[in-house]
A and B are shown apart, each in its own frame.
Chain A
Amino acid sequence: MLKDKHIVDKYFQDNWTGTPIQYDGANFKMPIDGKWISVRLVPYDRQSLSANNGLKVDYALIRVYCYDTSVTKCYNLAKQVQDFLECKKIPTDTASELIVEVAVPNGDGATPLHNSIYETVLNFTVRKYT
């Protein structure tokens, strides 16, 4: 899954141009305009599809934290992220690809944090068949 984290990070790095990106476990300086996204990959399940031929499916969540200076701006940013990632297939260096499902909001709306920063979280379920 570490490899998958690098793949997701690289996908954002190469294709997302809207805001700076904070990657999980990397140093990051908050931008002055208070607008950025933070990306995290969380593996949560693994399942055998067939005992005979060893087909497996890995499940993970791509969690994208969207930050901006107002609730409206925060939702707009979340909408951009949704359009960017939803229902996409992220290629890997092997035959299997990361299949991204629809975005699910965290259910808390936009949460106010310090310095007038608002946060909203989108969760994307990802499947990988190997």
Chain B
Amino acid sequence: MIKIVANSDNIIIAYEEMTKEIDQIIFDEVKNLRSDLEDIGEKIRVTRNFKNGIMATRKTNYGWVIQMKAKYSSILWAGRRTIGGREYGSLGWYNGGAPMLEKMGNDITRRVNDVKR
């Protein structure tokens, strides 16, 4: 006979397990984003510093941080555009970084929802 007892200890254990799993999902997605950024760094011809300028991923009180110290990284992040006859950004990264972040957000939500179920 199996007796299942739902008490506060069980609930705390379940909660901790779930939190750990969610943390792992977020960490996986951050790693994926970083690897995507490194791939893009290979493609970008404007500045080869881009790939080397991606600093080590670190966790802060506010969440994961991927910092890019390369010059022009904010210009590259906004995507390729023509402004007054002059080209900004890189063809290798036409749409810039925002769609990648949005996609990451969707993937995290999807995977976390699966854990909750």
Which A residues have a C-beta under 8 Å from some C-beta of B?
A: 22, 28, 30, 38, 40, 42, 44-45, 47, 59, 61, 63, 65, 67, 106, 108, 111, 113-115, 117, 119, 121, 123, 125
Contact = CB atoms under 8 A, between A and B. Distances in A.
Contacts of B85: 30
B95 interface: yes
Nearest to B82: A28
B106 A38 contact: no
Given A65-B78, A106-B77, A119-B83, A42 B110 contact: no
A61 B110 contact: no
Interface in B67-111: 74-75, 77-79, 81-86, 88, 95-96, 98-100, 102-103, 106, 110
Interface residues of B, number: 21
B78 A121 contact: yes
A113 B103 contact: no
Contact of B110 (A22, A47, A63, A113): A47
A40 B86 CA distance: 18
A67 B77 CA distance: 17
Q: Nearest 6 pairs between A and B by C-beta?
A: A44-B99, A30-B84, A108-B74, A42-B95, A123-B98, A42-B99
Interface of B: 74-75, 77-79, 81-86, 88, 95-96, 98-100, 102-103, 106, 110
A33 to B, nearest CB: 12
A114 B86 contact: yes
Given A30-B83, A114-B84, A63 B77 contact: no
Given A42-B95, A106-B78, A117 B102 contact: no
Contacts of A119: 78, 83
A106 B98 contact: yes
